Amino acid sequence: MSRSPDLARTRLHAFGDDALGDHDAVGLVAELRSGRVSPSELVEAAIARAERVAGPLGAIACPDFDRARQRARLLDASAGAATGYFAGLPTFVKDNSDVAGLPTQHGTTAFRATPAAADGDFAATFFRLGPVNLGKSQLSEFGISASAESPGRTVRNPWSPEHSSGASSAGSAALVASGVVPLAHANDGGGSIRIPAAATGLVGLKPSRGRVPQDAMTRQMPVRVVADGVVTRSVRDTAAYLRETERLFRNLRLPPVGDVVGPGRKRRRIALVVDSVFTRSDAETAEAVRSAAALLESMGHHVEEIDVPVPDYFVGDFKVYYGLLFLVLNATGRHTFGPSFDWRRTEPLTRGFCAYVLRHLPRVPLAIARLRASTISSRRLYRQYDAVLTPTLSHVTPRIGYLDPTLPYDVVMDRLLGWVGFTPMQNATGDPAISLPFATSAEGTPIGIQLAAGMGRERRLLQLAYEVEQARPFARIQDAVSA
């Protein structure tokens, strides 16, 4: 569907004729290796772009430009001897992961963070790939909400600044979508890689549980619902990130991803789910996912619509489990975050989760047991199908204010459940899933589709994603009129 130039003029991006140009991450690696650009030129271009758009977008939690310049100059002096596939590429780390010398504020004003003494496990591995960190990206408070619109810390959508960028990795998504950096760190505890990717027209893959190293806080959860990764503008960038990370950290319990450079030859049996256990999808979203199904069928895949493969009790179990996490976080906040922590300064949504689980404490053991047991039903599903196709989100991206975390808890929770219809299940099962930009709404915001597969099957998802990308090239924010 074509869009008017008026919609294009509302977009807020920084793409231009500088060292970064229109390149994705893999393209910039080629530019660096050819000597056509230097790390310092890329970093300076990214800083200039950030200074142009990151303020209006609200995407940066903590800049670290001076150290980024120093790191880039060291890479310049190494004359190509630097290690790491992404050496010299500018990036950001989400502000719930420790980076030495920077505070980790977790998107909240409930405490005052001090600079971390060392990199967390995720950042330590990520930096071994060579990217130059420009700072920390903004998120919703403790990553709770699916929209980062806390008072004074709202992240706006580059495609339409009156709309949400999703969450909790909203800052990273906005920085990549607007062209400031080619890729950025994101993590996903209920869809927080895939949701902002869908909202801002990016590729967002939630890896299998254990695929990517994680910080201690996420490893110690009773059910490890969080996975770390990146948001990118191309399938090949996401594939390159997984390939290079696997070369540093290989989980022998999972099948290898390897070097995925294009579509696979095997035709797949794909289940289609249009409506979620939470709600029915709106018309634009349903049309997009059915169009994606038709596209996959035209390429020889077998697509079969099925009932929602999620039990009715999943919604309540997920709410109870997350309420438990935030109740523990509030109760131990002074120990975890320091003496300045005051739970009374957390947002109503955070406190509402705590109140919810206090009313349902007897359900906690059963909720945890059933979330863990979701892997059984997942294995059963993927014995029948190679992948599952769904929308990423149940309806088009809402405007800022719709998911305001200061609204009454019941209001925001009902709205969240009506939007985040498809992503949480893979956090419970640990399975991988990828969001791809596929369509554009009448208001000019991207619409994402999701492909999910069984544990360890990222290679299969990337091959399918390449097929979709080649058949329907992703709309670009910098183009005058999107398709």
Beta bridge partners of 62: 136
Q: Which residues of 167-183 are buried (b: 16+ CB within 10 A; e: fewer)?
A: bbbbbbbbbbbbbbbbb
The catalytic residues are 94, 168, 192
Locus of tokens 């996420």 = 218
Q: Are 257 and 403 in contact (CB under 8 A)?
A: no
Angstrom CA distances, 359 to 280, 332, 352, 371, 415, stand at 28, 19, 11, 19, 21
Please check whether residue 325 is in contact with residue 357, taking contact to mean a CB–CB distance below 8 angstroms: no
Residues 175/184, Cβ–Cβ less than 8 Å: yes
Residue by residue, pLDDT tens for the chain (483 residues) are 334 445 556 899 999 999 999 999 999 999 999 999 999 999 999 999 999 999 999 999 999 999 999 999 999 998 766 789 999 999 999 999 999 999 999 999 999 999 999 999 999 999 999 999 999 999 999 999 999 999 999 999 999 999 999 989 999 999 999 999 999 999 999 999 999 999 999 999 999 999 999 888 888 888 999 999 999 999 999 999 999 999 999 999 999 999 999 999 999 999 999 999 889 999 999 999 999 999 999 999 999 999 999 998 999 999 999 999 999 988 999 999 999 999 999 999 999 999 999 999 999 999 999 999 999 999 999 999 999 999 999 999 999 999 999 999 999 999 999 999 899 999 999 999 999 999 999 999 999 999 999 999 999 999 999 999 999 999 999 995 433
Q: Looking at domain 5-471, which of 3.90.1300.10, 1.20.58.340, 1.20.1530.20, 2.70.98.40 is its CATH number? A: 3.90.1300.10
**Domain map (residue ranges) of the chain:** 5-471
Q: Judge whether 483 and 475 are in contact, CB under 8 Å.
A: yes
CA distance 53 to 162: 15
Name the residue among 385, 408, 475 with its Cα closest to residue 201.
Answer: 475
The size of the chain, in residues, is 483
Helices (H), 256-304: 283-298
Q: How far apart are CA 226 and CA 209, in angstroms?
A: 8
- Compute the CA torsion angle 424, 425, 426, 427 (nearest 10 deg): 50
Per-residue pLDDT reduced to its tens digit, 343-353 = 999 999 999 99
